[in-house]
Structure 1
Amino acid sequence: MISVGIVGGSGYTAGELLRLLHHHPHVVLDFVYSTTNAGLPVIKQHPDLIGESDLKFTNTIHPEIDVLFLCLGHGRSKAFLEEHEFSTTTKIIDLGNDFRLEKDQKYLHRNFVYGLPELQKKEISDAQNIANPGCFATAIQLALLPLAHTGQLTSTIHVNATTGSTGAGALPSATSHFSWRDNNFSSYKVFDHQHLVEIEQSIAKIQSNFEGPILFVPNRGNFSKGIYATIYTPYHDEENTAIDLYTKFYEDAVFTVISEAPVHLKQVLNTNKCILHIEKKRGMLIITSIIDNLIKGASGQAIHNMNLMFGFEEKTGLALKASAF
């Protein structure tokens, strides 16, 4: 059994971590850290855990835990680690963006590894610290890695992707308020979303001559969870060749699968799956990539990384099925 601590315990990603870790056979939840909720029952913020958890939020840490999940707002993980010392044997998985880029991966006495299992399974297995990928970055990279692996990303890549309201976090904002989001649709950060840099970093690692550009249009959808991404780029081989390429590339990936039929979001919600659909039209390879932004795009992927780091079977605690209705 390994002892687990969660910092930033009141948000959506922490809520999903708690839900999944409560049923992980090798985990004991040690503490859930939240300065604003210290002393309150965890179920006050996460009522879905009623009957599952009697934990209370705390504002103290136990520095000897086996693994620490950081679920803080972007840019706050570095400050937290500066203020709180953990054992050198404590493994850290950061769900924010503080350590995703190579220039940030050496920090204090720790080295972070980018935690996309389909790209760096061995490196993750050997790592002490993990930078969990972003949600959009996960969906888009999984759509592009097979092409990059074979050096076929040589032209403009177009991405149109829509995320649910939970992608904006638990704190309400003007664009996540129900009356604004419902029956509404909008784009934001067109061509300059922060996840582009980590996507380009990963692609360049396996296709050194990659120059892009990636033209990414992120959208806000009027639903709670999920990312539906459509990616297209020029492709000169046959459709079946591309499908064979993707099938072979992901043959050992336990959570990324290829669908012969067109896909829809309900197939992945509340699971750690990424489902890809491949087709060719008008000289373009069109890849549809769907994930649950809070699970495969955040907490589930973090647990997958933990499983790899501790030598557990990859699907442990993550054998989740979507609901078709």
Structure 2
Amino acid sequence: MIKAGIIGGSGYTGGELIRILLNHPKVEIDFVYSTTRAGKAIAAAHPDLLGLTDLRFTGSVNLEVDVVFLCLGHGNSTKFLNAHDFSSNTKIIDLSNDFRLHKDSVYDGKDFVYGLPELQKENIRNAQYIANPGCFATAIELALLPLAKAQLLNAQIHVNAVTGSTGAGISPSATTHFSWRNGNVSWYKPFTHQHLGEINESVRSLQENTGEIMFLPMRGNFTRGILATAYTPFEGTVEDAVQLYQEFYAEAHFTQIAMEPIDLKQVVNTNQCHIHLHKHNDVLLITSAIDNLLKGASGQAVQNMNLIFGYAESEGLQLKAGVF
């Protein structure tokens, strides 16, 4: 058993991480740190955990835990690490965007590895510090990486991806308010979303010169999940594309190539990414679907932890979608 600490456990990603780790056979949660809820029951913040744990939030940190997950707002992980000096043996998995880009990956002597297992599995296994990918980035990178590996991203790539309201975090805002979000769809940050940096770095690690990725993020009127569609010119047949993707993901435990069109319900509440390929004239349409809180955040963080500690990649992550 390894001992895990969670920093910032009162939000959506923190709650999902607690849920997964409570059911992980190789992990004991040592503490869940919160500055605003210290002493309060975890189930008070996460009612879905009522009866599953008697754990309480704490205002103190055990610096000797085997692994610590940072579930903090963007920009706050660096501040927290400045104030807390963890043991040299502690693995750190950060779920913010603080360390994802190459220019930010080395911090205070810590070399953070970008934690997309389908791209970096061996590097993750040998890492001590992980920068967990963003949710949109995960869905889009998994849609494009096989084409990049084959040097086929030579024209503009158009991406449209819609996310649920949990992607905006637990703090309420005008665009997550039920009265506005329900029955509504809108775009935001067109072609400038913050995940584009890590997407470009990942794709260009396989194909140095690619066409521009034109990414339009969308807000959906549902709570969780991301459905991404990308299209770009492709000279081969759809059968060629399927073979390309199947070969690229042959060793990927959680990324599946679907022969039929996919939908969000197939992946919500799982750590899966489902991908479907469709050819129209000379254009290849790639559709990918993930749960933004699991494969796009907490589930992928646990997947990375499993790789680091030599556990089966799927340990604690055998979750089933509810498709009806």
TM class by shorter chain equals over 0.9
In structure 2, the partner of 1:9 is: 9
Equivalent positions of 1:10-89 (< 5 A) are 10-89=10-89
Q: Deviations over 1:255-282 (max 9, x none)?
A: 0000000001000000000000001102
In structure 2, the partner of 1:314 is: 313
The residue type paired with residue 51 of structure 1 is: G
Whether 1:289 and 2:292 are equivalent positions in the alignment is no
In structure 1, the partner of 2:276 is: 277
Q: How far apart, in 2, do the equivalents of 1:321 and 1:58 lie?
A: 31
Q: What SS is found at the alignment partner of 1:290?
A: strand
In structure 1, the partner of 2:100 is: 100
In structure 2, the partner of 1:254 is: 253
Q: How far apart, in 2, do the equivalents of 1:206 and 1:277 lie?
A: 21
Whether 1:218 and 2:217 are equivalent positions in the alignment is yes
The residue type paired with residue 7 of structure 2 is: V
TM-superposed CA distance for 1:86, in Å, is: 0.4
Equivalent positions of 1:109-188 (< 5 A) are 109-188=109-188
Q: What SS is found at the alignment partner of 1:138?
A: helix
Q: How far apart, in 1, do the equivalents of 2:240 and 2:204 lie?
A: 23
TM-superposed CA distance for 1:140, in Å, is: 0.2
TM-superposed CA distance for 1:109, in Å, is: 2.1
TM-superposed CA distance for 1:322, in Å, is: 0.5
TM-superposed CA distance for 1:238, in Å, is: 1.1
Q: How far apart, in 1, do the equivalents of 2:109 and 2:153 lie?
A: 36
The residue type paired with residue 42 of structure 1 is: I
Q: What SS is found at the alignment partner of 1:81?
A: helix
In structure 1, the partner of 2:233 is: 234
Q: Deviations over 1:191-243 (max 9, x none)?
A: 00000010000111111222x21111100000000000000001111111001
TM-score by length of 2: 0.99
- Unaligned runs of 5+ residues in structure 1 are none
Q: How far apart, in 1, do the equivalents of 2:28 and 2:44 lie?
A: 21
Q: What SS is found at the alignment partner of 1:159?
A: strand
TM-superposed CA distance for 1:48, in Å, is: 0.5
TM-score by length of 1: 0.99
TM-superposed CA distance for 1:154, in Å, is: 0.4
Q: How far apart, in 2, do the equivalents of 1:131 and 1:306 lie?
A: 12
Q: What SS is found at the alignment partner of 1:311?
A: coil
Q: How far apart, in 2, do the equivalents of 1:166 and 1:83 lie?
A: 29
Q: How far apart, in 1, do the equivalents of 2:308 and 2:28 lie?
A: 16
The residue type paired with residue 7 of structure 1 is: I
Q: What SS is found at the alignment partner of 1:206?
A: coil
The residue type paired with residue 146 of structure 1 is: P
Q: What SS is found at the alignment partner of 2:295?
A: helix
Q: Deviations over 1:113-139 (max 9, x none)?
A: 000000000000000000000000000
RMSD of the TM alignment (CA)?
A: 0.5
Q: How far apart, in 1, do the equivalents of 2:59 and 2:168 lie?
A: 25
The residue type paired with residue 26 of structure 1 is: K
Q: How far apart, in 1, do the equivalents of 2:14 and 2:257 lie?
A: 29
- Unaligned runs of 5+ residues in structure 2 are none
